[in-house]
Chain A
């Protein structure tokens, strides 16, 4: 393989570039990124950066003096991928990049509710975070739509800034999709204890206001006043540019356990990719930092070996979230019907370790302020039943 193009210049793209070089790839490397920035870290955007404890410089993902000997094409989006004698990536400025291998690392974009009222935000980029922070500084009431991790973290920061905060969630409990209803409910108490109003099982009918948002109207007729609204209803994979390329797309780019796509010489990594997870027996798009940082090493081996390398055992998905100084950690994947039991600590103190089991097998663990035991339990996820 003489040349590789990486599309997406964020965590997964940078990690892929590092892995290719570390695995001895000495050919031409091009990194295409739609954002004008060098790769930066997103988790602090809803935490320390939003709180003003971290600067733009602190977000840099590259090390001081790090040089991957790559050509960076930043501030220009890829618009298409064509297969010919080589792979050809068309760019928005009319130019193109040709390469023998392609890494798709275009991540995800925040879902929106549509409309264009001022004061309504989503949070995915550094510009989003700066704009949200500026609005929070001038506001008294924040309504967060969607009780996922990003929304909850923004709610935390807004509370420390002294705002009145309400979270509205359509499901019966917060974090239900990621943690299941039981543990989601356990974490709800943490927010209520910090003065956040949490309204679950309530759908949003519309946002109100003229020019600028002034409230949120719920389906049951309730109205919540708001100066700022954060829409935190998840993200969709940024894969539209692959239309017509022959790369199979479902919920994200469909990949095998080594990151290979349906097109030879093309792998996909990070938030845009749904790798086959053997423990689950299904493709799963994982939208967490650690997968975007670690899986590219496997994908790079797949690419450089022409698919001959045996993929590493897939580590279970892992996420962390920081809320009111509590460390929330979760590894694995839970499905409705899993049995959940608290193995250490207790829910009342909000310091606990919970284990999720399916047919006797540990399929996920949740730690709230239990980093030590979490580290140990995390290794048992997906071990065969009765192994320990």
Chain B
């Protein structure tokens, strides 16, 4: 479990990137839900934490594919692959991420430090 931030540091409608390898984006939706996905878009090297959060979806800041934060599914190209999702836990006013053990769908040319 990775500590992300105190819950007070992530207001509704905001996102935060944690510098894991690969980085993870944590979102706090307007409805008060918390979600975490890999920060890197599956199309190219863009940070989803920089994207536009609307409902439970984030729109990639570069080419506007939208990812469903609950499932990681992508709505329309250019991104074709879903983004990996992670579990979020809040304990003692702190947001934690439980990283997935599944392989990430990183775009061509982006690698993790270990791979």
| Chain A residues with a Cβ under 8 A of chain B | 41, 48, 53-54, 58, 61, 63, 289-290, 293-294, 318, 320, 327, 329, 371-372, 374-376, 379
**Contact across chains for B50 and A290 when beta carbons are under 8 A apart:** no
**Contact across chains for B109 and A376 when beta carbons are under 8 A apart:** no
> Chain A residues near B77 (CB, 8 Å)?
61, 63, 293
Assembly CA distance A294 to B65 (angstroms): 11
**Contact across chains for A371 and B61 when beta carbons are under 8 A apart:** yes
**Contact across chains for B109 and A375 when beta carbons are under 8 A apart:** no
Assembly CA distance A29 to B63 (angstroms): 28
**Contact across chains for A371 and B47 when beta carbons are under 8 A apart:** yes
For B41-85 the 0/1 string (1 means CB < 8 A from A) is: 000001100111000000101111000000000001110100000
> Chain A residues near B59 (CB, 8 Å)?
375
Give the shortest distance, in Å, between A46 (CB) and chain B (any CB). Answer: 15
Assembly CA distance A293 to B80 (angstroms): 14
B103 within 8 A of A: no
Assembly CA distance A289 to B77 (angstroms): 11
B113 within 8 A of A: no
Given A61-B77, A371-B47, A375-B52, do A290 and B63 touch, yes or no (CB 8 Å)?
Answer: yes
Given A54-B108, A58-B108, A375-B50, do A63 and B62 touch, yes or no (CB 8 Å)?
Answer: no
**Contact across chains for A375 and B63 when beta carbons are under 8 A apart:** no
Show 22 residue pairs from A and B whose CB-CB distance is below 8 angstroms, ordered by the A residue. Answer: A41-B78, A48-B108, A48-B109, A53-B108, A58-B108, A63-B77, A63-B80, A289-B78, A290-B64, A293-B76, A293-B77, A293-B78, A294-B76, A371-B47, A371-B61, A371-B62, A372-B47, A372-B61, A375-B51, A375-B52, A375-B61, A379-B52
Closest 3 CB pairs of A and B: A371-B61, A372-B50, A375-B61
For B18-62 the 0/1 string (1 means CB < 8 A from A) is: 000000000000000000000000000011001110000001011
> Chain A residue with minimal CB distance to B47?
A371
> Chain B residues near A58 (CB, 8 Å)?
108
Q: A61-B77, A371-B47 are in contact. List 13 more A-B contacts (CB 8 A).
A: A41-B78, A48-B108, A63-B80, A289-B78, A290-B63, A293-B77, A293-B78, A320-B63, A329-B62, A371-B61, A372-B50, A375-B59, A379-B52
